[in-house]
Structure 1
Amino acid sequence: MSFNSFSEFLSMGGHGLYVWLSYGLGVAILAANLILPKLAGNQLLKEQKRRLRREEGVR
């Protein structure tokens, strides 16, 4: 498939909205799969540190 201009490439023969929306959604899902576990891990570490400090204060 060849395109004569960049705007033709973006429109993808009238299907550009669906094509680029699909690519965008795919990238968003991949980014979420990388970012959300990192945030959850950081939260878990904070909770564990807080629990350890609390347990050390009880003794």
Structure 2
Amino acid sequence: MQFDSWQAFINMGGYGFYVWLAFGVSFLALALVVVQGLQARRKLQQEFVKEQQRQQRLARRKREVT
């Protein structure tokens, strides 16, 4: 589809509101997925570090007892 001006492109033959709303909702959903993934990754990394520290403490205590 070819448009004569930027205004015609943004208006999209009268359907511009729905088209741009769909784009906006899609980008918002993708951004939320990325943010949620980054938060989950950070939480998993923190839990991994805590578990490693716990394992080190247990190994240290085991060596001290024996």
Same fold, TM-score > 0.5, yes or no = yes
- Give 5+ residue unaligned stretches, structure 2: 62-66
Alignment partner, residue 16 of structure 1: 16
Tell me how far apart the structure 2 counterparts of residues 2 and 53 of structure 1 sit (CA, whole Å).
62
Structure 1 segments of 4+ aligned residues over 2 angstroms from their partners: 30-35, 50-59
Once the two structures are aligned, what percentage of the paired residues are identical? 34
The count of residues paired between Structure 1 and Structure 2 equals 59
Q: Which amino acid aligns with 2:24?
A: G
Q: How does 1:1-59 map to 2 (within 5 A)?
A: 1-57=1-57, 59=61
- Give 5+ residue unaligned stretches, structure 1: none
CA RMSD of aligned residues (A): 2.0
Which structure has the larger Rg over C-alpha atoms?
2
Deviation at 1:30, TM superposition (A): 2.2
